[in-house]
Chains A and B, each alone.
Chain A
Amino acid sequence: MNNGELALLNDYLVVGAILFGLGVIGFLSRRNMIVMFLAVEMMLQGVSLSLVAWGRFYNDLAGQILVLFIIAVAACEAAIALALILVLFYRRGTLDVIAWQDLREADQPPYAEEEFPEGPEEVPPRWPSLTPAGRPPETPRPQTDYRPHV
C-alpha cells in the first residue's frame, strides 16, 4: 500500500469536510436567500471532492461518474431555485428570508426582529487624487456665433 495515496485521500477528505462545514455555517447563519443558495452549492463541492478522492483511492471511476451526475442535478437545482428566488423577490421586494416567516407553523412564535444597524457601516472609499500642479490648461473659448458649417 502506497503511503502517498493514503495521505492524499486523507488530505482531500479533510478539505471536503471543511468545505461542507463552511457551507453549513453559511446556510444556517446568512439571511440573504442567494447567499444561502451559494452555501448549499459549497456543500455539494465538498462532497464532490470526497467522492473523487475515494474513487482515486479504489481505482474506480464510479466516484467521478457520481460527481458528474451531481453536477447535472446541481444545474437543475440552480435553475429551479433561482426561478423561485426571482418570484419570491417579485412578491416581497426583498431577498431577506425573514419576509417569508409567515410560512412557519401556526403555534411557532415569530422571529423577533433585531435592531438593524443604521446606515452603512463601512467608511466610504477614498479615491486617489492628484495634487493640482502647474498652470491650468488653456481651454478653447466656446464658439458662440452662428456657424453654418462645422
Chain B
Amino acid sequence: MIDPRRIIMVAALLGAVGIWLLLPRGKVRGRLLGLALGAVGLGLLASQMPGLGDWVAQSLFAVLAAVTVVSAAAAITLRNPVYCAIWFGMSLLGTAGLLLFQGAQFLAVATVVVYAGAILVIFLFLLMLAEPGGRAPYDRVTWEGLVSAFAGAFIAGILSMTVTSVLAPRAGSIELSQWEPVEPPVAVTDQQRQQGILADNHMQQIGGALFDGRQPTREGQSPKPGYLIAVEVAGVLLLAALVGAAVIVGRGRQALSGPRVEPAGSPSPGGPPDE
C-alpha cells in the first residue's frame, strides 16, 4: 500500500500545475489540461480522506466541499473580474453550507448575509467602475504564476499531509506504519456534543457564551469570562471603519482637484470619471 502522504503530495503537485495552467497567462492553450489536472489532483486528495461513516452525510459533505473548492479555484483563475466575484459568492454559499453541516447555524446565516449580501455587492459595484469585460490587460497576465501556484499548493499540501497523517489513522480508514496514538486533551462523547454544541437552542447557547461566558457543556471546569468587552470593542471598530471609509473617500476626491500623476509606462485604459 502506498503511503497516503505520498499520494497527497502528488495531488498537491498536480493541483499546482493545474492552477498554473488555469491562471491567465495571455494564452488560452492548456486550460483544458489544467482543468483535468486539477480534477485529478482533487480526486486523489479526496480518495485519501477518511469517510464519515454515513453515506448520506458523506455525499452531502462531498458535494458541499466540491462546490466550495471548485468555485474558489474559479474565482482566482478567471479573467473577467466580475465572474471572479460571482464565483467567490458561490464559494461563500458552499462555505455557509459547510458551516451549517457542522451545526453552526448562526455563522452560516451570518456568512451569507454579511459576505454574500454586503461585501460582494460592494465588490461588484466597484468592478463596474473598472473594465468589466476582462479586456483590461492586467487581467490577462499574472505575476509569477508558476511560483505562486507552487507556494499555495505547498501550504495546502503540507497542511493536508500533516492533518491527515495524524487524524486519519485514528479515524480508522488509513493505516500508517509508524503511528503513536496521542489522546486529545479533552475527550468528548457524542452525548455531551448533542447537549452542547449541537443543541437545539443554538442561538441561546451562542448568546450565553458570548455575553455571560456560560457554556453548559463545560461542567466541572471553571467558567470562562464572557466576551462582553470584545463585543464592545468590535462595535467601536465598526464605527471607526465607517467613519474612516467616509473620510478616505472624501479626501481622495478632494485631492483629485490637484494635478493627477500618471505613472510612466502604464497603460491607462479609460480615464477616471470626471467630477
Residues of A bordering B, CB below 8 Å: 1-15, 17-26, 28-32, 34-35, 37-39, 41-42, 45, 48-49, 52-53, 55-62, 64-65, 67-69, 71-80, 82-87, 89-102, 113-114, 116-117, 120-122
Contact = CB atoms under 8 A, between A and B. Distances in A.
A22 B94 CA distance: 15
B7 interface: no
18 contacts: A13-B163, A19-B95, A25-B152, A29-B142, A29-B144, A31-B143, A35-B81, A38-B84, A45-B92, A56-B197, A65-B206, A72-B238, A75-B241, A91-B252, A93-B268, A120-B134, A121-B27, A122-B79
A74 B116 CA distance: 13
B98 A15 contact: yes
A53 B103 CA distance: 10
A34 B81 contact: yes
B110 A10 contact: no
A98 B210 CA distance: 44
Contacts of A67: 104, 107
In the A-B complex, the 4 residue pairs with the smallest Cβ-Cβ separation, listed nearest first, are A21-B156, A87-B252, A26-B76, A28-B148
Contacts of B188: 5, 57-59
B2 to A, nearest CB: 18
A71 B127 CA distance: 22
A67 to B, nearest CB: 5
B163 A75 contact: no
Contacts of B143: 28-31
Given A11-B49, A20-B156, A59-B188, 13 more contacts: A13-B163, A21-B154, A22-B73, A32-B136, A48-B107, A65-B210, A76-B240, A83-B252, A86-B249, A89-B272, A99-B266, A117-B27, A120-B134
A39 B72 CA distance: 9
Contacts of B176: none
A141 to B, nearest CB: 42
Contacts of A48: 95, 99, 107, 111
Interface string B204-219: 0110011000010110
B19 interface: yes
A130 to B, nearest CB: 27
B68 to A, nearest CB: 6
B28 interface: yes
Contact of B197 (A3, A61, A96, A113): A61
A102 B263 contact: yes
A59 B164 contact: no
Nearest to A89: B129
Given A25-B76, A29-B144, A99-B266, A10 B138 contact: no
B119 A75 contact: yes
A132 to B, nearest CB: 31
B126 A18 contact: no
B107 A25 contact: no
B148 A95 contact: no
A49 B99 contact: yes
B102 A60 contact: no
Nearest to B193: A59
B68 A15 contact: yes
Contacts of A12: 98, 102
Nearest to B272: A93
A19 B164 CA distance: 16
A74 B242 CA distance: 13
Contacts of B51: 7
Contacts of B164: 10, 14
Interface in B32-89: 45, 49-54, 61, 65, 68-69, 72-73, 75-76, 79, 81, 84-85, 88
B78 to A, nearest CB: 9
